[in-house]
Amino acid sequence: MKWRIRVAHEEDIPTILDLCYQLSVYEKIEFKGTEELYRRYGFSEEKIFDCLLAENTGDVGPPFLGVALYYYTFSTFESKPTLWLEDLFVPEEYRGNGVGTSLLKELCRVAVKRDCGRFEWTVLDWNEPSRQFYFSLGAVAMDGWTTFRMMPEAFRRLAES
């Protein structure tokens, strides 16, 4: 199996949607993605995320073997950007071949180029294969931190109060 990691382009939106949908099924999370939303937030003047694709360059398998969707936040403590990995997905039948590692290596190169102080992401507690994969690459779990989330109903209510 051979592949190359490349930056996604607007014409890749259907592929990005498909891979992110597959991830949502695996993680048992409702998927609300549309081409319009991905175009707006990934490929327009309102762009807020970047995306890498693992493109199959071999003779067997689908055209794309994985996706990594990411963006930047800012660490006040480090006083540097943080590369935040929102989603990394390689279909199960292609895992264990180095595709995920290649995507993460390229993300690390991006983080170095952008002078990031951190590279962070979350993983579901039950997703032990992914947790072990990340540990094997030198990542550490952030013990003592809890991720909080406000859904639109809650943040609209607070905004209007």
What integer is the mean pLDDT of 84-88?
98
Q: Among residues of the chain, what percentage have pLDDT more than 90?
A: 96
Hey, what are 118's tokens? 């951190």
Q: What is the pTM of this model?
A: 0.94
Q: Looking at the 3D structure of the chain, how many domains does it have?
A: 1
Residue 29: burial class (beta carbons within 10 Å; 0-12, 13-18, 19+): exposed
- Tens of pLDDT, residues 9-68: 999 999 999 999 999 999 999 999 999 999 999 999 999 999 999 999 999 889 999 999
Q: Which of 38, 70, 94, 134 is catalytic?
A: 134
pLDDT score for 160 = 96
pLDDT score for 43 = 98
Confidence of residue 78 (pLDDT cuts 50, 70, 90): very high
Query: Which CATH number does the domain housing residue 87 bear?
Result: 3.40.630.30
CA distances 56 to 1, 49, 53, 59, 113, Å, are 8, 23, 9, 8, 25
Name 49's Cβ contacts closer than 8 Å, sequence gap at least 6.
41, 42, 69, 70, 71, 86
70 is catalytic: no
What integer is the mean pLDDT of 118-133?
95
State the residue range of the domain holding 83: 3-160
